[in-house]
Amino acid sequence: MPTAHVALGSNLGPRQQHLDRAVFSMRHLPHTKLIAQSETYETEPVGPPGQDPYLNAAVALHTTLTPRDLLTHLRHVEQAAGRIRRQRWGPRTLDLDILLYDHLIIDEPHLTVPHPRMHQRDFVLRPLCDIAPDVTHPILKKTIRQLLTECPSP
């Protein structure tokens, strides 16, 4: 069964509650089993100034959903948490991103896998390294552990 790795983030409202509900929702996705969950990390925001700190985490899912179907389900989970897309990299109640889906490389208008900036973001790599340190990035050919070690962000 394919493995998908998903990043979770929240910096508006009851942040931990948003993450907990997202994990609960992902546990109940059709044809999907949550197999690992990282620690939760508080991180400084990237993007427009004046935002509150984020809580970030990652999960691993075994799923037979296609990457596009998984993305559709994740967008529904975000919407249930009150996510409104107003500003790129702006504050949000919940952000769910597919980081990796097995070793697939997808470049479509609304879906890019692996996530195009994951290797530059400590707040993505640190929780992902909790659950998938030896998984190899399909383009960069480095493990998540190596990418975290080389990551330029604090």
Q: What is the CATH number of the domain that holds 93?
A: 3.30.70.560
Please list, in sequence order, all residues whose beta carbon lies within 8 angstroms of the beta carbon of residue 7, skipping any fewer than 6 positions away: 56, 57, 58, 95, 96, 97, 99, 115, 118, 124, 127, 128
Q: Smallest Cα–Cα separation from 11: which of 38, 47, 45, 58?
A: 45
Q: What is the pLDDT of residues 38-62, one digit of tens each?
A: 999 999 988 777 789 999 999 999 9
pLDDT of residue 47: 75
pTM: 0.94
Look up the domain containing 95 and give its range: 3-150
Residue numbers annotated as active site: 83, 92, 95, 97
